[in-house]
Structure 1
Amino acid sequence: MNQQEKTSGRNLSNFMEFVLLDFADVPHLQWFLFGLFLIIYIIIVMSNGTIFLVTRLDSALQSPMYFFLSSFSFLEICYVSVTLPRMLMNLATQRRRIALLACATQMCLVLILGGTECLLLAVMAYDRYVAICNPLQYPLIMNHGACIQLVTASWTIGIPVMIGQTYQIFSLHFCGSNQINHFFCDIPPILKLACGNTFINEMLVFIVAVLFVMVPFILIVGSYSKIISTILKLPSATSRMKAFSTCSSHLMVVMLFFGSAIITYLRPKSGQPEGTDKVLSLFYTILTPMFNPMIYSLRNKDVIMALRKLLCNKSLY
């Protein structure tokens, strides 16, 4: 890192940019990391895009479960596109500066889309709960209008909260270094740059994290407790295996995403090694969007058959 990118002893409230360090501590791996994350980004966009198209175009995949899955795949594309392109540009050009407004915008979008993912995963768990625990009422409860309302609420309910969260973070005074030890503008590393007492800000972050991370997680755990209880009562071993297969993929995604997010935003900050937030955030911002299509498609025969049908139709032209 050259000397001009180091700032000390000044109030950064008037200094209109930060420096994202991302992986500057391993300069010999810059091009390797660029290639790795470029491949990951392409995989995420293509795989989630394929699931989105297949679930939209195939008439056999028009149930609520696949409607939520298509919304989830579209969300993953948006989510990863907020962070990865900027990181790829930084790795390729070694120009890691980001304007204050751009940093605030990126944080706000990450928070909105991350909150949407938490809520949408809870909605998907509720869908599986109704399908397995109350199958006779499933078509009535999860009708098309209800599905649209649930997805719309997942996308919009967190917008004012996350905008307010971003505003209160960037209303702080920053002093000393302007270097963010992260690959995107996330709350924990930016709070470390703030001057004075940030206890109130940390408490607000904690409250929002509880509402948008812990509450959906608890609802998901409650749904799966009911689901597992119902599955164990099924008389047929084949039926039990089919039900477990349907839900296990969703549960795997939930544990990966919520586990890393909870540790990042709800753990005590004191005594944590430098760079811990950066490593943890790789799980919920990059690895989860990459694994989601693999988990859902490789474990779902209907999606695989729809994909084969789509590819066969394309080959006829």
Structure 2
Amino acid sequence: MSAKRQNFRAASTVGVILALFTLHSLSEGKVFEKCPLARMLDKQKISSRSLISNWVCLAMAESGGDTSKVTTLDNESANYGIFQINSKTWCREGRKGGRCNKNCPLNLTINFLRTLSMVVPSRRDRLDFLTDDLNDDIECAKQIYSDGGFGAWKGWRSTMASKQLPWAIVVSLFLISLPAVIDGKIYTKCELAKQLTANGISRTYQGHWVCLAMAVSGLDTSKTTTLPNQTANYGIFQINSKEWCRVGYKGGKCNMKCEDLVTDNVTNAIKCSVMIQQSKGFNEWVMWQKKCKGKDLPDITNCGAIG
């Protein structure tokens, strides 16, 4: 084949691609509004419901809720999708790889692959982070969060970690209206007594701890209370984020993630609460003063769980 013919065919190929860019600028991406995104994240169980507003906050800060967003960086990597997942660590451009074993497409082929994926569905795997299907985004984001919390995202650290945006409250109210999702647990008095025993709490004081939990959370491990000072109380003992824990990463005087205090495993909540009690006494909890101090404590003498 002559050089002219080869050049002609190459030019034709480029022309076809450019034509596809121009005539078929088809996108599978979607720009989510806050409440639909909250519904989607809750449905796919990205985390406990108490943290959904944080995920929405992160997505809005990173991408404006745009699943097709791509940001090219100075280090020759790029951030992809609604959570702006980086190609240097978490995915690989043009093939599956990285710590999430996901495919983030080469910047120059993104629009072409979008078009191709509409014609050949088998090519959709080339767009792991750029479609309105958030399965891959959520799977990888959960891994990132597991490794480093919300603090793994620079945008979170610089703009969101210490802020309580007005619409985050709206998202929280919206989530309350959804059917319950069992992420936490509502303990009985005896179940909590058993856990207190397992974590070394003297039987002498267990009535105070059970009374405290009943007063502040109704024994609900998943309870989160947002406060006017832009902090929040977490878990069965309502531990505050200003002093004792940090959202998205380990910190505070308990050196814990606040998120670790809202699971059905109350070990972390007990350990942190003991630190609070040893430092400031039960009086640190206003509700203990109102509901428990000098009052009859819950009767747990017949709880067979107490050894």
- TM-score, with normalisation over the residues of structure 2? 0.24
More strand per residue: 2
- TM-score, with normalisation over the residues of structure 1? 0.24
Query: Which protein has the larger Cα radius of gyration, Structure 1 or Structure 2?
Result: 2
